[in-house]
Amino acid sequence: MAVLHDAVWLNVSPAFQEFNQPCLNFLSQSAYLSQYKYYLSLDEPLSFNTPLIWLHNYLKNCDPVHLIGHGISGLLGLLYARQHPEMVRSLTLISVGFYPSVDWQAHYYVQRQLLNCSQQKLLTQTVYNLFGFQCPPITKKLIGILKEDMISSLSPHTLYKRVSFSPGGVQVPLLVCRGEHDVVIDQNLWQGWSRVFKPCDRLWQCPNGRYFCHYFDPQKVGETIVNFWDNLLKSSDVICPADSLIYD
């Protein structure tokens, strides 16, 4: 009988909840899977300090768990794993680059500064970049979801300022997943992780995937994550050497 893993899916982007669900459903077949959700209120200052404290309170009475996060939620997992490696059995990042604060919003705001076009036109192009071609009603719905994410997520970027966090690795085993055709996390951002990889770490690319590869191909992404967990169980070197950490 297969071993069920203890895992926590991180979500600090409430507008994207439906994009996580297919992969959550798949992983729940192989894991005792829970969700940590942090939703930013409109009058709350944007900071990672509070969600990190709440996440630690959520996990402090648990055995070490596998953390999973997509986009800016993955950044939260990365920051937590750096602070509390003893609480994390492994970290899986989906659509998170070596410069981990780069998310779809950072990419969008750069385009807004570079291109002379309306917000609506650029959001329409962003929908294509993130999801591929969609019919007009679906495109309209997705534009609404992106607008909501700009208001409600923990992403720190605005039109006037992009925020950065130090690149580098973590002490715990790390799996970094990317969609093959992701224009936000390009090949350079993805392969940059290899600079700080330990023997137990893995890079994986979802064929034909984009920024939300875990939504469009939850089985392939889910199988990759579960295989990563299973291989860690077979290895005696579950916690990798800390001297491979690099912060530029």
* Predicted confidence (pLDDT) per residue in 12-28, tens digit: 999 999 999 999 999 99
pLDDT confidence of 136, banded at 50, 70, 90?
A: very high
SS3 140: helix
Is the model's pLDDT at 46 over the cut of 80? no
Q: Taking a C-beta distance cutoff of 8 angstroms, is the pair 225, 9 a contact?
A: no
In which residue are the tokens 């799996």 written?
A: 175
pLDDT of residue 238: 47
- 234's CB contacts (< 8 A; 6+ apart) are none
Is the model's pLDDT at 247 over the cut of 60? no
Q: Taking a C-beta distance cutoff of 8 angstroms, is the pair 31, 66 a contact?
A: yes
